[in-house]
Amino acid sequence: MAQIPSTINGVSVQFGSGVGNDVDQRIIGGLKHCIKSKIAPGHALISIYVSSAYDSHQMPSRHMQHKGVDISRINGNKIAISYPQGGSVKVIVDAIQASFEGYAHRRENFGPHLKKKLGQNWPVSGHGDHLHLSVN
């Protein structure tokens, strides 16, 4: 296991209270793959808010296997509120999800832009208010 760092590629990583930070090294690799200050040209990614990692889920959740992470805020803005309005948060979220699809160990990529599992469209409910990224 490894700890999600407080900064990834120049982007500040903040954590919700009670978020268990011990994750599989491949989650950190996936975050490093898609969390970048210049992930979306013309829109600076300054911070993300990890609302869940290894915590408050039940098996067989990828979270309980240390292989899933949820991001609910971009640059301090809640995805639930800011994404539907378009603008910078939408552009950044879409770019993060598109980038994560190129990560070799990606499993689940659920959010307001994409809902994919193992690269295929996946009919999962929810995830309009956060990104859920998981690895194999």
Question: What are the residue boundaries of the structural domains of the chain, listed by start?
Answer: 2-135
Name the pTM for this structure.
Answer: 0.94
Q: Alpha helices of the chain — where are they, by DSSP H?
A: 25-34, 79-82, 87-100
Each residue's pLDDT tens digit, 7-65: 999 999 999 998 988 899 999 999 999 999 999 999 999 999 999 888 766 556 787 78
Percent of the chain whose predicted confidence (pLDDT) is above 70: 96
- How much is the pLDDT for 64? 74
Each residue's pLDDT tens digit, 107-121: 999 999 999 999 999
CA 39 – CA 45 distance, rounded (Å):
7
pLDDT at 131 over 70: yes
Which letter, b or e, does each residue of 45-61 get, where b requires 16 or more Cβ atoms within 10 Å of its Cβ? bebbbbbbbbeeeeeee
Cβ–Cβ < 8 Å for 55, 63: yes
- How much is the pLDDT for 60? 63
Average pLDDT of the chain to the nearest whole number:
94
